[in-house]
């Protein structure tokens, strides 16, 4: 099997696709392969090589060697920024190719979500951290604090070789969120993609080669979680694991970090985010943001506001209008169709999971007012809306990770805050109200890492992203991500020696 193939996408592109692992600036074959499926057709796209424990060890060794090599460790922050800026330029230039492969593999709408959303944010992240690379300056503490006999300086140094594991819902963008700040702070990196969506992750190997990145600084591996993922999280020569994925897997990664070498861990895990709609809201705007908040990327988003709390005075009106809005705007098509707003679910496994939860919702007595599974090829379904839900229902408590929303009613402010916070998760929350005092008060009391007032699902590269409780720990994006990839080294200087 060749280390490259050509993929023809439905929008007429012919794209050179890597198939091997990218280790030490070389493409590597293995004895194991992953079959990559097109969720629109259920047909194989290609097979890629999969890493086992041996290949993970090879990649980690390459990253550790590169971390000590002067071609990387000896360069300035400005020079690291130059490399990151090259990544920005290449990704921006090739955005259509990368977005096309992403849509083919993941099933999300090509133009509206992949090209206009994920790829723009991905290259923007590299540009942003290119600007940060020469501004990680540390701190000096002098005589005014310590007295005339001592000074100290705090040097923010890179951790070393770090690992990253990304999910299948935003394969290319999640890589960017981790690679860019890790390289900006001087680390070397081993990244593992999801076995479901490995294709665009491998494109980073081509980018690294074209950008001239020294060998071993960035390594990209495809592999199964039970093999490559476990080996990464247990590896004693990695200084950190940055993980995005399910809460259950995040717990296992924390355990692995503890029993191996106490490596640092940042986790961005699951969510069951509430969306609170007060009766003084702008109804038209609330409907638009409600739709985006749960059905963007087919609901396969950790921050999806999958449980709505609607004030009882407008409950019937909102439900009626939301169903009508969904019927009009949920255009379930093949993702390269220009009118598509909802593509297929990513895999048979995810399709079956959504079906299981829909059946549970019906059995629990929630009222299914919209949604259906579409017969034929591909993992397509119309989005599901459940009404008259109660907080004890499974569909109100567990993360479904699909286009399924459960709607309940509430009466008062204190009541809805308590109900919104009554969850093991704490990733995000949204609320709609034209009473700005009430909105700020409610936002400050919601137990979530991110709260949106009169919007939903917003993300910006300048703003920290992350959750509370079992939704994870640490933050990505903004200057906050730099702290998670550095350690503060305190250098104490004794000034009492004679001269």
CB 108 within 8 A of CB 343: yes
| CA–CA dist 490, 395 (Å, integer) | 49
Distance of alpha carbon 395 from alpha carbon 397, whole angstroms? 6
The span from the CA of 438 to the CA of 223, in Å, is: 48
CA pair distance 192, 196, nearest whole angstrom: 12
Residue 199 token pair: 């294709």
First to last CA, the chain: 69
Of 463, 457, 104, which Cα lies nearest the Cα of 302?
Answer: 457
DSSP 3-66: SEEEEE-TTS-EEEEE-SEEETTEEE--SEEEEEEETTTTEEEEEEEE--HHHHHHHHHHHHHH
Which positions ≥6 away from 79 have C-beta within 8 Å? Answer: none
Residues in CB range of 213: below 8 A, 6 or more apart: 25, 83
Under the phi-then-psi rule, with left for phi > 0, alpha for psi from -120 to 50, and beta for the rest, what region is 265? Answer: beta
**Which sign, positive or negative, has the C-alpha torsion 471, 275, 372, 362?**
positive
DSSP 8-state secondary structure symbol assigned to residue 118:
I
Q: How far apart are CA 92 and CA 398, in angstroms?
A: 37
Q: What three-state secondary structure class fits 150?
A: strand
Detail the DSSP E strand segments found in 341-463. 367-373, 381-387, 404-410, 428-432, 450-453
CA 57 – CA 69 distance, rounded (Å)? 18
What distance in Å separates the CA atoms of residue 117 and residue 111, rounded to the nearest whole number? Answer: 8
The residues assigned a catalytic role are: 268
The angle formed by the CA atoms of residues 63, 99 and 459, to the nearest 5 degrees, is 80
* Chain position carrying tokens 């990680």: 136
């Amino acid at each position: 099997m060749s280390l490259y193939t050509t993929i023809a996408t439905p929008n007429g592109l012919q794209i050179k696709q890597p198939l091997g692992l990218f280790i030490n600036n070389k493409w590597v074959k293995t004895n194991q392969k992953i079959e990559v499926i097109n969720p629109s057709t259920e047909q194989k796209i290609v097979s890629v090589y999969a890493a086992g424990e041996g290949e993970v060890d090879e990649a980690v060794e390459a990253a550790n060697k590169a971390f000590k090599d002067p071609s990387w460790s000896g360069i300035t922050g400005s020079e690291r920024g130059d490399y990151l800026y090259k990544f920005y330029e290449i990704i921006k230039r090739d955005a259509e190719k990368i977005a096309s492969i992403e849509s083919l593999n993941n099933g999300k709408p090509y133009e509206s979500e992949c090209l206009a959303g994920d790829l723009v944010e991905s290259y923007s992240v590299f540009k942003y951290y290119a600007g940060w690379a020469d501004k990680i300056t540390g701190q000096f503490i002098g005589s005014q604090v310590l007295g005339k006999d001592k000074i100290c300086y705090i040097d923010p140094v890179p951790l070393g070789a770090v690992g990253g594991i990304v999910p299948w819902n935003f394969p290319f963008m999640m890589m960017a969120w981790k690679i860019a700040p890790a390289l900006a702070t001087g680390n070397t990196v081993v990244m593992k993609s999801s076995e479901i969506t490995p294709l665009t992750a491998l494109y980073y190997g081509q980018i690294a080669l074209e950008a001239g990145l020294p060998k071993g600084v960035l390594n990209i591996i495809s592999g199964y979680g039970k093999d490559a993922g476990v080996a990464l999280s247990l590896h004693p020569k990695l200084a950190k694991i940055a993980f995005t994925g399910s809460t259950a897997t995040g717990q296992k990664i924390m355990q692995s970090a503890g029993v191996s070498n106490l490596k640092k861990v940042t986790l961005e895990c699951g969510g069951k985010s509430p969306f609170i709609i007060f009766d003084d809201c702008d109804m038209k705007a609330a409907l638009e943001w409600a739709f985006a908040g749960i059905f963007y990327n087919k609901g396969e988003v950790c921050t999806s506001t999958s449980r709505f709390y609607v004030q009882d005075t407008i409950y019937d009106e909102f439900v009626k209008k939301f169903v009508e809005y969904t019927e009009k705007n949920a255009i379930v098509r093949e993702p390269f169709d220009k009118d598509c707003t909802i593509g297929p679910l990513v895999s048979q496994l995810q399709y079956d999971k959504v079906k299981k939860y829909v059946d549970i919702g019906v059995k629990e007595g929630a009222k299914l007012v919209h949604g259906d599974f579409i017969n034929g090829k591909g993992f397509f379904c119309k989005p599901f809306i459940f009404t008259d839900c109660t907080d004890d229902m499974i569909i109100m408590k567990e993360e479904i990770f699909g286009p399924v929303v459960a709607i309940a009613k509430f009466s008062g402010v204190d009541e809805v805050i308590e109900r919104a916070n009554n969850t093991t998760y704490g990733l995000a929350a949204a609320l709609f109200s034209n009473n700005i005092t009430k909105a700020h008060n409610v936002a400050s009391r919601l137990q979530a890492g991110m709260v949106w007032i009169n919007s939903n699902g917003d993300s910006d590269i300048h703003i920290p992203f992350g959750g509370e409780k079992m939704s994870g720990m640490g933050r990505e994006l903004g200057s906050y991500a730099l702290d998670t990839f550095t350690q503060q080294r305190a250098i104490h200087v004794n000034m009492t020696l004679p001269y």
